[in-house]
Amino acid sequence: MKESTLKFKDKVKQPWVMAVLFAAFIPLLPEYFAPILAALSLWAAYYDSRSSGRGFRVGAIGKILLIYIAYLTLGILYSPELMSTLATAAMWAAMFMVYLSLTTVLKSRHRFDTALLAISLMAGLIGFIGCFQYMMRISLGFQFPDKLWSFIDDIILPIFPLVIKNGASGARVSSTFNNCNIFGEVMVALLPVVAYYSFYGRRKSTHLLNRFCLMMVAGGIAFSFSRGSYLGLIVIALIFTMANLRKIVYLLLTLISGFLLVPPPVIARLFTINDVDNSASERMNIWVAGTSFIKDNPLFGVGAGINNSWNLLLEQGINAPHMHSLFVQLLVEGGIIALLIFAVLSWKIVQSGFSMLVHEGEARMLGVVFIAFLFGFFTDGLFDFPFMTPKLVGIFLIMMALADSASRLFLNKATASLQEVLTFQKQTAGIKGSRIACSKVDNAK
């Protein structure tokens, strides 16, 4: 027992393992820890990369993300809320560290699989916290907080020059987040990874545990009572079902069984998607107002930052911090240029995903993961803005790092060093190095 514990400690102390764990802890801890964890993950990745001397790695998606961050920063030239735009660009730049960390250390299939396992288990823990909150608050009637870190947030958040809009949650829970909608968005973003590892992960001994995590993530989405997240979950389930038509009977029985276990309040919330209640009415008013803002600044937008969109909406008598739609928010903040950047980024993910689909086994199902993530994420994004906070941005960038790492490992797509990308150097040396890193010997570890 003692020997096993020592071996485990030695494994955890490896820089690449630390880099993965720091990244995986981002959704668990409060928002203000996210940039710190990203920095610690990058620090660990630096020590891991010193042995190879290849430096931090950037893939095709990472290059597009760097363009987007640069474009956000240029917004300070015309933004009416200079500090808000600068803070938003700084948030993306800080959280980009976790992308760099993971694309640097995930250079073998063994490491990649370990990262998927860590993310799956962490998602399950966060979902479990949400389910436990609902059980304590609603089923048992205890005065249990709907936000896990509220006792710390009440002390720390007033120190920051930020305005957090928190309303009464009622039956809804937020787990480790400041808002129930954000909780639902994160669970939708991580759901494809958890679903993958529950059935296809290399460590078969953990499949049962990961299936419990899958139940907790689905439960977390249910108890967030976010209808956009419900639709995202349905889209992801449909994509996984279409990818596994041979197991259609088993999948349908599982879905029906799960549906029967869902509490009546969740079912009632699901069937109000088409109803025009106060929430839906407010969103419609926001989207109408957002359309007028887009017409005024169609190409470049008004500049990034929540304060910009919030002030515009307040002028229309609407007290909402964002446009409640990823696409409308991108157009308002960054105009057509921002939307085009994300269109190219999405195409890269879809292209890699479909390229993996023609392979067998592990690679094929990873293609399903990234396609399901993209469609689920954007479906949820139709009704909310999933880039509002550092943790949301960090989780999105973790998924982008996984997509670039999978392309390198399973499609032999080259990565370049960060220095080469930033200095516009030719990347012939990087291509050669990347193909060596993707060799069968390395991937078998």
Q: Which comes out higher in pLDDT, residue 296 or 106? A: 106
Mean pLDDT of 322-339: 95
Query: How confident is the prediction for the chain on average, in pLDDT?
Result: 86
Lowest mean pLDDT among 133-147, 166-180, 205-219, 224-238: 166-180
- Residue 66 forms part of a structural domain: yes
Lowest mean pLDDT among 58-67, 130-139, 246-255, 294-303: 246-255
Q: How far apart, in whole angstroms, are the C-alpha atoms of residue 68 and residue 345?
A: 10
Nearest to 322 by CA among 188, 161, 163: 163
Mean pLDDT of 66-74: 97
Per-residue pLDDT band at 169 (split at 50, 70, 90): low
pLDDT reported for residue 431 = 40
Task: Output b/e per residue, 169-208; b: 16+ Cβ within 10 A.
Answer: beebbbbbbbbbbbbbbbbbbbbbbbbbbbebbeeeebee
Print the SS3 string covering 391-407. HHHHHHHHHHHHHHHHH
Helix (H, G, I), strand (E, B) or coil at 298: coil
Place of tokens 């108890």: 223
Going by the DSSP 8-state scheme, the letter that residue 137 receives in this structure is I
Place of tokens 């799956």: 120
Mean pLDDT of 185-208: 94
Whole-angstrom distance between the N-terminal and C-terminal Cα of the chain? Answer: 25
pLDDT reported for residue 435 = 37
State the residue range of the domain holding 262: 55-443
Q: Which comes out higher in pLDDT, residue 290 or 265? A: 290
Per-residue pLDDT band at 441 (split at 50, 70, 90): very low
Q: How far apart, in whole angstroms, are the C-alpha atoms of residue 68 and residue 62?
A: 10
Residue pair 392/185 in contact (Cβ under 8 Å)? The answer is yes
Nearest to 197 by CA among 256, 129, 258, 121: 121
Highest mean pLDDT among 247-261, 279-293, 396-410: 396-410
- Residue 15 forms part of a structural domain: no
Paired sense of beta strands 57-58 and 416-417, if any: antiparallel
Nearest to 375 by CA among 356, 390, 354: 354
- Residue 25 forms part of a structural domain: no
Q: Is the pLDDT of residue 430 over 50?
A: no
Q: Is the pLDDT of residue 255 over 60?
A: no
DSSP-assigned beta bridge partners for residue 147: 175
Domain count across the chain: 1
- Residue 215 forms part of a structural domain: yes
pLDDT in tens, 361-370: 899 999 999 9
In the chain, how long is the greatest CA-to-CA distance? 67
- Residue 90 forms part of a structural domain: yes
- Residue 187 forms part of a structural domain: yes
Mean pLDDT of 88-108: 97
pTM, to two decimals: 0.90
- Percentage of the chain beyond pLDDT 70 is 84
Q: Is the pLDDT of residue 163 over 70?
A: no
* Cα 78-83-88 angle, rounded to 5 deg: 90
- Residue 34 forms part of a structural domain: no
Q: Is the pLDDT of residue 288 over 70?
A: yes
Q: Which pair of structure tokens corresponds to residue 413? A: 């797509």
Q: Which pair of structure tokens corresponds to residue 126? A: 């966060």
- Residue 375 forms part of a structural domain: yes
